[in-house]
Amino acid sequence: MKKAILALEDGRTFACQSFTGPGEASGEAVFNTSMTGYQEVLTDPSYRGQVVAMTYPLIGNYGVNPQDVESDRVQVAAFVVKEYQPVPSNFRSKASLGDYLIQNHVMGIDGLDTRALTLHLRNAGAMRVFISTEDTDPLSCVRKARAISSMTGQDLATVVSTPTPYRWVQETPVPLEGDFRRLSLAVWKQRGQRRSVVAFDYGIKYNILRLLEASGCEVVVVPASTSAADVRRMEPDGIFLSNGPGDPAPVAYAVQTIRELLGYRPIFGICLGIQLLGLAMGGVTYKLKFGHRGANQPVKNLKTGRIEITSQNHGFAVDIATLNPDDVEITHINLNDQTLEGFRHRTLPVFAVQYHPEASPGPHDARYLFDEFNRLMAGH
């Protein structure tokens, strides 16, 4: 265990220790309140650039395994827990959390009052953080935190997006054969048997792909920068807009592409996907004070009146007031703070949610949305 300092941009510092050896890390400090699912959190591309603190104090209990991943790598900038558990126990565990982080060159720290950190972020808002085992001067660490570029205005989706298209086959990514720059109808191997879905990767979670596949879709994942013309050449049955990290506003090219595709085929968006859709439909997004990150967010489905306990991970949101009610119907709202959780277009086959129906981690209450997407595609 090596002593470390966690320094926030507003000057607050926490003495802690690294359980992954010496190192330094920086990013935006956020907290997640989910009591299970740390491996999914670590590998969720939406956390790119963020230093994630878990509010549940004991982390590492069940180790890590090869199945519970949401992308091909650990995405967080650093991982902060109250007490790291070095001896895991679970029938599927293959390694300890510490070893996993070391392998992925991501820093893990513990031994600090994570509740104090959480309260601080709740009151002061998400902010930049610098962590170091090397620099032992708190003031210097604070200065370094202030030097990090802010989350607002950063296009992180481009950074995490896949550089090349791939097919999702039996729960694994398979590179496209031949010249991947020439997207066309030829990418589909099960045309007619399964619905063809183009999934824009802004930082997509594997579980979305698993559920699309399980619901009867054949999925081709394309880079965030893929053009509307490329998509049209593939003639999909539906288009999926994925989750992803950071601020939607700077991802202007994606907004433009989506605008061009509105009405072409059914579109389903999740998380960053709803924010980009919102922007494409003329809305405005804003940064939440400390975001929604956890697996217990209550969402009300305004059509059925039913409550879904949802998994969420977002720091930005679409401002309901900026959406044109003539075009957009609000379908879901957050019961904690009344923020937007879902909408659909009144005339076009477009719907999206801010939360994560694919869960992972989190409750499975909202999986029905994948069936809705399929129904929508069947109707067009």
Partner 1 sequence: MPKRTDIHKILIIGAGPIIISQGCEFDYSGTQACKALKEEGYEVVLINSNPATIMTDPDMADRTYIEPITPETIARIIERERPCAVLPTLGGQTGLNTAIQVAELGVLEKYGVEMIGATIPSIRKAEDRDLFRHAMEKIGLRIPRSGIATDMEQCRSVAAEIGFPIIIRPSFTLGGTGGGVAYNAEDLEVIAKAGLDASMISQIMLEESVLGWKEYELEVMRDHNDNVVIICSIENVDPMGVHTGDSITVAPAQTLTDKEYQQMRNAAIAIIREIGVDTGGSNVQFAVHPETGEMIVVEMNPRVSRSSALASKATGYPIAKIAAKLAVGYTLDEIPNDITGETMASFEPTIDYCVVKIPRWTFEKFPETRDYLTTAMKSVGETMSIGRTFKEALQKGLRSLEIGRHGLGADGKDPLTPPSFSEIEQHLATPNSSRIFYLREAMLHGISLPSIYELTRIDPWFLDQIRQIVDMETRIRDAGKNVSTSLLRQAKSTGFSDIQIAAIVGATEQDIRNRRSETDTLPVYKLVDTCAAEFKAATPYYYSTYETENEARVSNRKKVMILGGGPNRIGQGIEFDYCCVHASFALREEGIESIMVNSNPETVSTDYDTSDKLYFEPLTREDVLNIVETEKPLGVIVQFGGQTPLNLSTPLHRAGVSILGTQPESIDRAEDRKLFQAMLHKLGLVQPENGTATSVAEAVAVAEAIGYPVMVRPSYVLGGRAMKIVYDPEELENFTLLAIAASPNHPVLIDKFLEDAIEVDVDAISDGKVTIIGGIMEHIEEAGIHSGDSACVLPPYSLKPEILDEIAWATKSMAAELHVVGLMNVQYAVKSDQLYVLEVNPRASRTIPFVSKATGIPLAKLATKIMLGKTLKELGLTSERIPHHISVKEAVMPFNRFPDVDTLLGPEMKSTGEVMGIDEDMGSAYAKAQLGAGQNLPLEGTVFISVKDRDKPGALAIARQLCDIGFSLMTTRGTGAFLEKNGIPSRMVNKVSVGRPHVVDAIMNREIQLIINTGFGNETKRDGYHLRRAAIKYNIPYTTTLAGAIALGKAISAMKQKTLSVKPLQEYHG
How does 24-57 read in b/e, with b if 16+ C-beta sit within 10 Å?
bbbbbbbbbebbebbbbbbbbbbbbbbbbbbbee
Q: Which stretch binds partner 1 (CB under 8 A): 90-98, 245-253, 281-289, 369-377?
A: 90-98
Of residues 33 and 158, the one with the C-beta less far from partner 1? 33
Of residues 162 and 339, the one with the C-beta less far from partner 1? 339
Name 235's Cβ contacts closer than 8 Å, sequence gap at least 6.
Answer: 185, 196
Name 286's Cβ contacts closer than 8 Å, sequence gap at least 6.
Answer: 316, 317, 319
Of residues 99 and 327, the one with the C-beta less far from partner 1? 99
Active-site annotation holds for 271: yes
Closest alpha carbon to 274 in 349, 341, 366, 365 = 341
Q: At its nearest, how many Å lie between partner 1 and the CB of residue 213?
A: 17
Residues 322-341 that bind partner 1 (CB under 8 A): 335-336
Residues 217-276 that bind partner 1 (CB under 8 A): none
Name 375's Cβ contacts closer than 8 Å, sequence gap at least 6.
Answer: none
**Could you tell me how many residues of this chain bind partner 1 (CB under 8 A)?**
53
Q: At its nearest, how many Å lie between partner 1 and the CB of residue 115?
A: 5
Q: At its nearest, how many Å lie between partner 1 and the CB of residue 21?
A: 21
Residues 283-312 that bind partner 1 (CB under 8 A): 294-298, 300, 305-307, 309
Active-site annotation holds for 358: yes
95 makes contact with partner 1 (CB under 8 A): no
User: Which three-class secondary structure state does DSSP give residue 56?
Assistant: coil
Structure tokens that stand for 318 in this block: 């679409």
Of residues 117 and 249, the one with the C-beta less far from partner 1? 117
Of residues 61 and 158, the one with the C-beta less far from partner 1? 61
Structure tokens that stand for 99 in this block: 């070893």
Q: Is 219 exposed, middle or buried (0-12, 13-18, 19+ CB in 10 A)?
A: buried
Active-site annotation holds for 134: no
- Contact with partner 1 (CB under 8 A) among 122, 289, 346, 375: 122
Residue 216 half-sphere exposure toward CB, CA atoms < 13 A: 13
Q: At its nearest, how many Å lie between partner 1 and the CB of residue 329?
A: 20
Alpha-carbon gap, residue 139 to 143, rounded angstroms: 6
CA geometry: angle 174, 178, 183, nearest 5 deg: 85
113 makes contact with partner 1 (CB under 8 A): yes
- Contact with partner 1 (CB under 8 A) among 58, 139, 147, 214: 58
Q: Which stretch binds partner 1 (CB under 8 A): 18-26, 81-89, 246-254, 260-268?
A: 81-89
33 makes contact with partner 1 (CB under 8 A): yes
Q: Which of 271, 292, 308, 332 is catalytic?
A: 271
Neighbours of 314 (CB within 10 A): 23
- Contact with partner 1 (CB under 8 A) among 43, 85, 154, 196: 85
Q: At its nearest, how many Å lie between partner 1 and the CB of residue 118?
A: 4
35 makes contact with partner 1 (CB under 8 A): yes
Neighbours of 157 (CB within 10 A): 30
CB distance 69 to 37 below 8 Å: no
Q: At its nearest, how many Å lie between partner 1 and the CB of residue 246?
A: 21
Structure tokens that stand for 243 in this block: 């989750």
Of residues 212 and 295, the one with the C-beta less far from partner 1? 295
- Our measurement of the distance from residue 194's CA atom to the centroid of its chain's CA atoms, rounded to an integer in Å, reads 26
129 makes contact with partner 1 (CB under 8 A): no
203 makes contact with partner 1 (CB under 8 A): no
- Our measurement of the distance from residue 264's CA atom to the centroid of its chain's CA atoms, rounded to an integer in Å, reads 26
The DSSP code sequence of 100-140 is HHHHTT-EEEESS-HHHHHHHHHHH-SEEEEEESS---HHH
Q: Which of 9, 28, 341, 358 is catalytic?
A: 358
Which residues here bind partner 1, judged by CB under 8 A? 14, 31, 33-37, 39-40, 55-58, 61-62, 65, 67-68, 82-83, 85, 87-92, 112-116, 118-119, 122, 294-298, 300, 305-307, 309, 335-336, 359-364
State the catalytic residues: 271, 356, 358
